[in-house]
Amino acid sequence: MARGDDTAVQERTEPETPARPPGRSRGRVTAALAALTALLLIGHRLVPDGGWHLGSLLEAFLPWAGLAVPLLLAAALLRRSRLALAAVLLPAVAWAGLFGGRLLSGGDGGPFDLTVVQHNVAAENTDPEGTATRLAGTGADLLAVEELMEPATGVYERILGGVYPYRARSGTVGLWSRFPLSDVRPVDLKPAEVHEYWKRGVRATARTPKGDLAVYVAHLPSVRISPAAGFTTPRRDESARLLAAAIDAEPLRRILVMGDMNGTLDDRGLAPVTSRLTPARGGFDFSWPAGFPLARIDQVLVRGATPVRTWTLARTGSDHLPVAARIRL
């Protein structure tokens, strides 16, 4: 009995394995994902494009990376991890630094001289008359339109011509103006690989009460996401460089550029244009696709002027939303 009692005492006095500190080792995967998200937000310019143009793809939808923050927060709370909770602050702060100001934008933006509207009316638009009527009723001083295709072109010319006395057009892009237009000419944005008829840029001088303004309307090539080729941006990027060259050659000090750029202001592929001009940017103002906007690819940019406010208008028969901006000369 004594021997058995000694064994029992020995078993009771064996040291137990110390417990892990609560909340410190749990949630390491969540913390790592939070740190990675913060790095992608802060260092998105460092993500290489490569053959698949992954850097441009990330930048095209960069604001949506913020959705990772509530997901990571939920995971950290589920794991009851102090480490993960602290790590979630990293992407939250990074996103706020990049995009938080857009959430606070609002108001009328102060005094302005021009209201402009940019709209890709879509070649497949089944209601061109309704779209043209809505555009004519916006009160814009300058109206840029892309994807003007027959037979709908006549509808736009008839309805918009009843409101705007001046017009400039080249191929599938057009400009309607309340101000006299002069020095109208096409802008060559055609990539070298494109051999078919392709006119998607026009330039005109608008004679505003505050002086001459060079107005460009541009429609850059579309991009696609392909399993074989990735994010297909080379043609768009080439057109962006051609547009930048035209801007550099522009003799007028004041420039207004409007159009469907098929890229966001964060996309490095548009840097040749966005680095030369000031974008009209309010909130996020996503313009495409119209049913559930995911990205702002319809842009208004200026040089020698100040954008004071921008917003999207109600949906038309297009797969894009119209984008409006107020400009101070």
Query: Which 8-state DSSP code applies to residue 221?
Result: P
Domains recognised in the chain with CATH numbers: 25-104 (no CATH), 114-328 (3.60.10.10)
Sequential DSSP letters for 118-139:
EEE--TT-S-HHHHHHHHHTT-
The Cα 132–Cα 177 span in angstroms is 14
Cβ(245)–Cβ(227) below 8 Å: no
Query: Which helix (H) or strand (E) is 211 found in, with range?
Result: strand 211-219
Question: What is the pTM assigned to this prediction?
Answer: 0.88
Q: What percent of the chain has pLDDT over 70?
A: 91
Q: Give which of 43, 27, 20, 39 is closest to 86, Cα–Cα.
A: 27
Strand 278-279 to 298-303 pairing: antiparallel
The strand pairing partners of 116, in sequence order, are 142, 325
Asked if residue 151 has a cis previous peptide bond (ω within 30° of 0), the answer is yes
| Strand order across the beta sheet in which 166-170 lies | 166-170, 173-177, 142-146, 114-120, 323-328, 306-312
- Predicted confidence pLDDT, tens digits, the chain (329 residues): 455 555 444 555 555 555 555 545 679 999 999 999 999 999 999 999 888 899 999 999 999 999 999 999 999 999 999 999 999 999 999 999 999 888 776 666 789 999 999 999 999 999 999 999 999 999 999 999 999 999 999 999 999 999 999 999 999 999 999 999 999 999 999 999 998 889 999 999 999 999 999 999 999 999 999 888 889 999 999 999 999 999 999 999 999 999 999 999 999 999 999 999 999 987 888 999 999 999 999 999 999 999 999 999 999 999 999 999 999 99
Report in angstroms the alpha-carbon separations of 76 from 32, 69, 72, 87.
Answer: 11, 10, 6, 9
